Copies of this chain bind each other. A is one copy, B any other.
Amino acid sequence: MELLKDRILKDGIVKEGDILKVDSFLNHQIDIALYDLIGAEFKRLFQGKNINKILTIEASGIGLACITAQHFRVPVVFAKKSQSMNLEGEVYVTSVYSYTHRKTYDVLVEKKFLKESDNILIIDDFLARGNALLGLIDIVRQSGATLSGAGIAIEKGFQEGGAIVRRMGVDVKSLAIIESMKDGKITFRS
């Protein structure tokens, strides 16, 4: 998606340790018009798949999942990162290690919100080492629902997450795949 790539080149900031900061438009401050265009693109890429629910993980995936869900006219379910008092009853649980926060979270979805008959599209803002996405895939598998694909805004193609998940047979579509950020220069996979 050229528009997203252009925006990354314009406003993305490369930091030491392969960190790409896109928090002026994607995941701290949010350009809602851009989200809407990303949502429309996911709809185009996954049309005809009969998706009836979008799954994401808190926190920064939620906004993009909601805007994307408007294009599909389906509900969103977001996985929660820690056991909260209000999450009781039967839940699907998986463990996700966050490199950003350097700790492991339990990630939960109440069982009643994912059914065997569901046809799920996973949406997230970022794919790097793949831990969050693998956690969501595990939850979909536990539920017996069909996983129709995963729509990602930005993928760090030089980290292993995308390759791992594609080898599992998941239809991952990333709108901007970064091949390299060497010396602060961002190049995309063509």
Query: A residues touching B (Cβ–Cβ < 8 Å)?
Result: 15, 17, 19, 21, 23-24, 28-33, 35-36, 58-60, 62-63, 65-67, 69-70, 73-78, 80-82, 84-88, 100-102, 109-110, 112-113
Contacts and interface: CB of A to CB of B under 8 A. Distances in A.
A36 B70 contact: yes
Contacts of A30: 66, 69, 75-78
Given A21-B86, A32-B73, A86-B100, 5 more contacts: A28-B77, A28-B80, A59-B62, A59-B81, A66-B67
A24 B35 CA distance: 24
B28 A85 contact: no
Contacts of A15: 86, 88
A162 B92 CA distance: 35
A19 B85 CA distance: 9
A97 B91 CA distance: 25
Nearest to A32: B69
Q: Which of A17, A21, A75, A88 has the most CB of B within 10 A?
A: A75
Given A85-B19, A100-B85, A113-B29, A59 B35 contact: no
A62 B56 CA distance: 13
10 contacts: A19-B86, A21-B86, A29-B113, A32-B73, A59-B81, A60-B62, A63-B63, A84-B100, A84-B101, A86-B100
Contacts of A74: 32
A156 B109 CA distance: 25
A26 to B, nearest CB: 11
Contacts of A21: 86
